[in-house]
């Protein structure tokens, strides 16, 4: 696959350099571009940090800004940031009220964020952790702790970021983040592979007329590979699994995220949302907040994911709160 590259080894560094040049409200600490923070952290506010591998923009770096996150540590393509990088971000964003880590359920991330929290504790910085695990295709009901964190973590960022901006305490911000996590379900479908620049070839093989339901954002195996079907049929199969895990009543409200994985036109994402909306409507459920676009990608992988957050009054208000980051802007109507 053709790519706009110089030396593939420099892919992440040059990407980060471009982001900082384009968005001067962001900066980095410890002389390490992988340690992104807001240029002016708000005094006295609970800090929010995330992190993970590169190759998923706008996840994770794209949500650092007003009303969302205060910092993000990013590793190489599909590689965890180091514990030291997470720790450097933590030190900068702590304003005396503690820091919440919000990141996906991947072994390397868990190890390094745990180590960073231990380093922060030695400095007297209180850290809590909320680990996203919204991907229902990656493990069965009853073993949710094994599930991957994917695009639905956006809702956790959004709710926790609004709570922190309102001045909630560390325990309350953590509670909000965890509630959003528990009420979010995601399932994806892939149509093609992606290419890690330093590797230079497709991560996996999938036929031109095939799709894989439940594939992960690093190319992890899904739950079924089959012939590509019409869009409505694909959404019917995906949403059937979501509805099996979320109990909705008439007049319930949800937030919906239709996320492109990097190589799917936005027009197609709207076709997918059309069917999601129809299925929700058949159950008397209202899509109160809707976002459609690229929120958590897998390089140039063709495909999409659907995330549903079951709202309550508190989450409705927080998810709908204003936010302003280089990759995401939301204003109250």
Residues designated as active site: 56, 218
Selection from 121, 116, 120, 119 nearest residue 103 by Cα: 116
Distance, CA of 153 to CA of 114 (rounded, Å): 19
By CB atoms closer than 10 A (0-12, 13-18, 19+), residue 30 is middle
Beta-carbon count within 10 A of 136 CB: 26
Cα angle 65, 66, 69; round to 5: 50
Selection from 13, 78, 58 nearest residue 261 by Cα: 58
CA torsion angle 315 320 322 325 (round to 10): 80
Distance, CA of 142 to CA of 146 (rounded, Å): 9
């Amino acid at each position: 696959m053709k790519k706009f590259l110089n030396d593939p080894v420099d892919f992440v560094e040059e990407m980060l350099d471009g982001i900082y040049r384009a968005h001067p409200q962001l900066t980095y600490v410890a002389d390490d571009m992988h340690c992104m923070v807001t240029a002016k952290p708000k005094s006295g506010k609970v800090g929010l940090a995330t992190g993970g591998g590169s190759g998923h923009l706008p996840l994770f770096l794209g949500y650092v800004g007003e009303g969302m996150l205060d910092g993000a540590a990013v590793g190489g393509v599909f590689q965890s940031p180091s514990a030291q990088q997470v720790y450097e971000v933590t030190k900068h964003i702590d304003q005396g009220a503690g820091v919440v880590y919000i990141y996906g359920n991947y072994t390397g991330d868990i190890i390094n964020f745990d180590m960073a929290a231990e380093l922060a504790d030695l400095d007297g910085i209180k850290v809590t952790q909320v680990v996203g695990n919204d991907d229902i295709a990656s493990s069965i009901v009853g073993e949710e702790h094994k599930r991957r964190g994917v695009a639905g973590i956006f809702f956790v960022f959004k709710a926790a970021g609004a709570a922190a901006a309102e001045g909630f305490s560390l325990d309350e911000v953590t509670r909000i983040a965890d509630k959003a996590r528990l009420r979010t379900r995601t399932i994806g479908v892939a149509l093609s592979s992606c290419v890690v620049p330093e590797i230079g070839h497709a991560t996996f093989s999938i036929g031109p007329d095939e799709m894989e339901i439940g594939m992960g954002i690093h190319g992890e195996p899904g739950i079924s590979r089959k012939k590509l079907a019409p869009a409505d049929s694909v959404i019917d199969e995906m949403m059937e699994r979501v509805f099996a895990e979320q109990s909705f009543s008439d007049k319930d409200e949800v937030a919906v995220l239709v996320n492109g994985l990097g190589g799917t036109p936005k027009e197609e994402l709207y076709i997918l949302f059309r069917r999601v909306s129809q299925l929700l409507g058949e159950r008397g459920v209202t899509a109160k907040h809707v976002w459609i676009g690229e929120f958590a990608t897998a390089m140039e992988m063709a495909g999409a994911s659907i995330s549903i957050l079951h709202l309550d009054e508190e989450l409705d208000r927080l998810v709908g709160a204003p936010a302003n980051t280089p990759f995401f802007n939301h204003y109250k109507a």
